[in-house]
Amino acid sequence: MGLRLSNSAKLTCGSALKTSYPFSIVVYAGGQAPSANTLFIQQVNSANPGDIVGGLYAANGAKYAIDATASWGSVSAAAAGTPDISPTAYQLFVLVFTSASSRTIYHTNATGTTNTDTQPNANMVSHNQVVLTAFLNGTDFAEAHFYGGALTSANVTSLLGGAMPETITGWIDGWALKDYSAGGSYTSLSGARTLTASGAVAQSTIAHPVARVTPATSVTLSGPASGTSGSPSTAFSVGADGVITGTVIVTPSDGGAGGSFSPTTVSISSGTPTATFTYTAASTGAKTISVTNNGGLTNPASLTYTAGALSATAVTLSGPSSGLSGAPSGNFTVGANGPITGTLVVTPSDGGAGGAFTPSSMSISNGAPTATFTYTPASAGAKTVSVTNNGGLGNPASLTYTASASGTITSQPLLRNNGSQALGGTLSAVVVLNAGLTSVVVTKSNVSVNASGVFTVSDPGISTGTRYKVAWIESTGQYGIADALAT
């Protein structure tokens, strides 16, 4: 948009801009009816503010001129050419004041042609203010800029090519004049000066001619707050807080936590203003994700990314590989390969081999991530121990458990060395020896005696059908020895 000035309305800058030659003024203006006389921009004589000592006119809508008189009513010879100001688009006007006797105007007409007019200067003895005004009919203004040097045709070409006026060498200050302010005060782009409105000023309806952009000063970073250790995160995104000059390489880091990034660096530019990367944490816990850049931009605040353990996908199983037939095994252990959702019921099996499990099923959860069971084989030989679960997780590979056959010795009712019977209780030790009493076959401790004074011991070292000597002792010191036939 822009501002529309009507009926001699003015926008005046009261601050000094420059007090010596050369200087230049750039204005984008439009909206003028072809038959009107309109003053676009003027330099005011500081010694006599009532004098207009330099300005740009549309003379009866047909020609442009730079005024060199000391009054409103006298206009110097008009510049060559007859372009009209477009009522529907802004056109570029560049006024160049090189000395008290030389000045140039560059302007584009309604068809986009650039004209250059030069004529002698007069009375330009003081130039410390800028006034934008509409004389008689309305004029639309967008962008007014002041330069401390003489702009050239190359500068004009740059402006017509879309260059920001404030990027042209020699720029002192300027105004975008994009939106109407009811207060009638417009701060310059530098923030140092103000244009003050007087008279009929309103919002223009013509599209603003300059697509002003803000240069980037900082890199930006956004991304997920959490994910899974060992797995790529969702995308982190880097960009900038304005337009990027050239190509900026951005490098992410987790501060030495051992994780990896894909890719390891990303590039951003005005054509590709954002880029993404993923992060794979090497371990669980909070990680600090930061980025640096090679473009001299300010780096963003780091992000905290919390890596959790991968949820369980399978049950695990471990346990002994051998034991005795008919006797409980050592503990088998079941668990999971990650955090468990809810409670998981695990059921062991020996594939129909007839053995028994204690307990017959067990539960695991995050609060109780492991459980144990024992296995009592019904016969000797290799048994396949496996588990299944009710949680849809993968079941582990089965284990082979080899059960050895064991001979059994059943004693006669025990008779102590003092002649009394040992009925019930526990024997401190039972020692099975060969018949010749030359070697120990097996030793058992804490062997239970039934109410009839009989105990039983089984072991793979005991051979069925073989006769042995069996010695026993109680905790009281009473003992005995007898012959026994293993079955």
- What is the per-residue pLDDT for 110? 46
| 3-class SS of residue 167 | helix
- The answer to whether residues 296 and 356 belong to one domain is no
Asked whether residue 193 is domain-assigned, the answer is: yes
Average pLDDT over residues 180-198: 85
- What is the per-residue pLDDT for 278? 98
Average pLDDT over residues 324-337: 92
Which phi and psi (to 5°) does residue 297 adopt?
Answer: -85, 160
- What is the per-residue pLDDT for 216? 93
Asked whether residue 411 is domain-assigned, the answer is: yes
- What is the per-residue pLDDT for 109? 55
Between 275 and 102, where is the model more confident?
A: 275
Which phi and psi (to 5°) does residue 155 adopt?
Answer: -65, -40
Which phi and psi (to 5°) does residue 71 adopt?
Answer: -150, 165
Look at residues 404, 427, 445 and tell me which one is the last residue of a structural domain: 404
Band of pLDDT at residue 104, cut at 50, 70 and 90: confident
- The answer to whether residues 368 and 421 belong to one domain is no
- The answer to whether residues 189 and 123 belong to one domain is yes
| 3-class SS of residue 165 | helix
Q: What is the CATH number of the domain that holds 185?
A: 2.60.120.200
Determine the Cα angle at 184 with ends 179 and 190, to 5°: 65
Residue 388's DSSP bridge partners are: 347
CA distance 184 to 299: 39
Q: Mean pLDDT lowest for which of 114-128, 165-179, 405-419?
A: 114-128
Q: Which token pair is 62?
A: 């047909």
* Cα→Cα distances 102→20, 95, 96, 109, 112, Å: 13, 11, 9, 23, 25
CA distance 67 to 106: 15
- The answer to whether residues 76 and 164 belong to one domain is yes
- At 426-448, the pLDDT tens digits run 999 999 999 888 999 999 999 99
Average pLDDT over residues 169-190: 87
- At 255-307, the pLDDT tens digits run 999 999 999 999 999 889 999 999 999 999 999 999 999 999 999 999 999 99
- At 108-157, the pLDDT tens digits run 654 444 555 454 444 344 444 444 554 445 678 888 888 989 999 899 88
Domain of residue 477, residue span: 407-485
Average pLDDT over residues 340-347: 94
Evaluate whether 247 touches 327 at the Cβ level (below 8 Å). Answer: no
- What is the per-residue pLDDT for 215? 85
- The answer to whether residues 30 and 102 belong to one domain is yes
Residues with Cβ within 8 Å of residue 70, at least 6 apart in sequence = 45, 48, 51, 52, 53, 123
- What is the per-residue pLDDT for 103? 66
CA distance 85 to 60: 11
Band of pLDDT at residue 192, cut at 50, 70 and 90: confident
Residue 40 pLDDT more than 80?
no
Nearest to 13 by CA among 233, 214, 192, 138: 192
Residue 61 pLDDT more than 70?
no
Asked whether residue 123 is domain-assigned, the answer is: yes
Evaluate whether 147 touches 139 at the Cβ level (below 8 Å). Answer: no
- The answer to whether residues 182 and 41 belong to one domain is yes
State the pairing for strand pair 3-13/332-336: unpaired
Average pLDDT over residues 200-224: 88
Nearest to 259 by CA among 307, 312, 310, 309: 307
Band of pLDDT at residue 44, cut at 50, 70 and 90: very low
Residues with Cβ within 8 Å of residue 163, at least 6 apart in sequence = none
- The answer to whether residues 68 and 158 belong to one domain is yes
- The answer to whether residues 295 and 438 belong to one domain is no
Between 443 and 84, where is the model more confident?
A: 443
* Cβ neighbours around 207 below 10 Å, total: 12
Residues with Cβ within 8 Å of residue 322, at least 6 apart in sequence = 401, 402, 403, 404
Within 80-236, residue ranges assigned H as helices are: 153-160
Q: In the chain, pLDDT over 90 holds for what percent of residues? A: 47
How many domains in the chain? 4
Nearest to 61 by CA among 3, 135, 166: 135
383 conformational bin, left if phi > 0, alpha if psi -120 to 50, beta if neither: beta
CA distance 39 to 5: 11
- The answer to whether residues 276 and 339 belong to one domain is no
- The answer to whether residues 9 and 39 belong to one domain is yes
- What is the per-residue pLDDT for 26? 87
- What is the per-residue pLDDT for 37? 38
Look at residues 170, 203, 236 and tell me which one is the last residue of a structural domain: 203
**Amino acid identity at 107:** H
Between 20 and 61, where is the model more confident?
A: 20
- The answer to whether residues 392 and 463 belong to one domain is no
- At 447-480, the pLDDT tens digits run 999 999 999 998 888 888 899 999 999 989 999 9
Average pLDDT over residues 364-371: 94
Asked whether residue 357 is domain-assigned, the answer is: yes
Residue 79's DSSP bridge partners are: none
Band of pLDDT at residue 83, cut at 50, 70 and 90: very low
Question: What single string gives the DSSP state of each residue in 100-141?
Answer: TTEEEEEEE-TTS-EEEEEE---S------EEEE--SS-EEE
Q: Mean pLDDT lowest for which of 71-85, 247-261, 422-436?
A: 71-85
Average pLDDT over residues 413-432: 92
Q: What is the CATH number of the domain that holds 253?
A: 2.60.40.10
- The answer to whether residues 185 and 70 belong to one domain is yes
* CB-based burial, 364-400: b 16+ in 10 Å, e otherwise: beeeebebebbbbbeeeeebebebebeeebeebeebe
Asked whether residue 242 is domain-assigned, the answer is: yes
Which phi and psi (to 5°) does residue 105 adopt?
Answer: -125, 130
Asked whether residue 145 is domain-assigned, the answer is: yes
Q: What is the CA radius of gyration of the chain?
A: 50
Asked whether residue 398 is domain-assigned, the answer is: yes
**Amino acid identity at 58:** A
DSSP class of 327? S
Asked whether residue 211 is domain-assigned, the answer is: no
